[in-house]
Chain A
Amino acid sequence: GDSVTQMEGPVTLSEEAFLTINCTYTATGYPSLFWYVQYPGEGLQLLLKATKADDKGSNKGFEATYRKETTSFHLEKGSVQVSDSAVYFCALRVNNDMRFGAGTRLTVKP
Chain B
Amino acid sequence: DGGITQSPKYLFRKEGQNVTLSCEQNLNHDAMYWYRQDPGQGLRLIYYSQIVNDFQKGDIAEGYSVSREKKESFPLTVTSAQKNPTAFYLCASSKGGDSGNEQFFGPGTRLTVL
Contacts and interface: CB of A to CB of B under 8 A. Distances in A.
B100 A96 contact: no
A100 B43 contact: yes
A93 B99 contact: yes
Contacts of A44: 43, 90, 92, 105
Contact of A32 (B40, B45, B90, B99): B99
B57 to A, nearest CB: 13
B1 interface: no
Interface in A30-81: 30-32, 34, 36, 41-46, 49, 51
Interface residues of A, number: 25
B22 interface: no
B42 interface: yes
A25 interface: no
B108 A42 contact: yes
A94 B42 contact: no
A102 interface: yes
B99 A94 contact: yes
A47 to B, nearest CB: 10
B105 A43 contact: yes
Considering the complex of A and B, which 5 residue pairs feature the smallest CB-CB distances, nearest first? Answer: A43-B105, A96-B97, A100-B42, A51-B100, A44-B105
Interface of A: 4, 29-32, 34, 36, 41-46, 49, 51, 89, 93-96, 98, 100-103
B31 interface: yes
A94 B101 CA distance: 10
Given A96-B50, A101-B42, A102-B42, A30 B99 contact: yes
Given A89-B43, A100-B43, A101-B42, A42 B107 contact: yes
Contact of A31 (B99, B106, B107): B99
A31 B99 CA distance: 6
Given A36-B105, A43-B92, A96-B97, 8 more contacts: A29-B99, A93-B100, A93-B102, A95-B97, A95-B98, A98-B103, A100-B43, A103-B40
